Amino acid sequence: MANELKSNNVDICALTDLNENAGTAALVDDIQLALFYVKKSEQVYALSNFDPFSEVNVLSRGIIGSLGDQLVVASPIYKQHFNLETGQCIEDEDVSIAVFPTQIINGRVVLD
């Protein structure tokens, strides 16, 4: 599975299309993304939707929370936690998922 987007500055959706403090799936350049809108920080995090442990695209259905000072998403299948900023798996330092930088511009979510 490729983890590189072919396009730059892709307008994904309106910020109002995302649920606060929850995940939403999006398809960009044939890559499934998991978008997480964290209301407290007014930040949208974009990660690969592919869970490397269950080998299915489900991370957008995960629950966001924190472990210590790390903001994470817990996979809905086997419950591994992935850092929303880095994609690093908390339980297995050898595993990480792709992250994609985002911006909110004029109420729109844009991938850099």
- Identify whether the C-beta of residue 111 lies closer than 8 Å to the C-beta of residue 9: yes
Considering the domain boundaries, does residue 1 fall inside one?
no
Considering the domain boundaries, does residue 4 fall inside one?
no
Q: pLDDT 10s per residue in the chain (112 long)?
A: 456 666 678 999 999 999 999 999 999 989 999 999 999 999 999 999 999 999 999 999 999 999 999 999 999 999 999 999 999 999 999 999 999 999 999 999 999 8
CA distance linking residue 15 with residue 77, whole number of Å = 27
Q: Is the dihedral of CA 63, 64, 65, 71 positive or negative?
A: positive
Q: How many domains does the chain have?
A: 1
Its pTM stands at 0.91
Residue-level pLDDT at 24: 97
Residue-level pLDDT at 48: 98
Considering the domain boundaries, does residue 84 fall inside one?
yes
CA distance linking residue 31 with residue 27, whole number of Å = 6
Residue-level pLDDT at 1: 43
| Domain span holding position 50 | 10-111
CA distance linking residue 103 with residue 11, whole number of Å = 10
Classify residue 81 as exposed, middle or buried by CB count within 10 Å of its CB (0-12, 13-18, 19+): buried
Alpha helices in the chain (DSSP H): none
* CATH code of 28's domain: 2.102.10.10
Considering the domain boundaries, does residue 3 fall inside one?
no
Considering the domain boundaries, does residue 62 fall inside one?
yes
Residue-level pLDDT at 9: 86
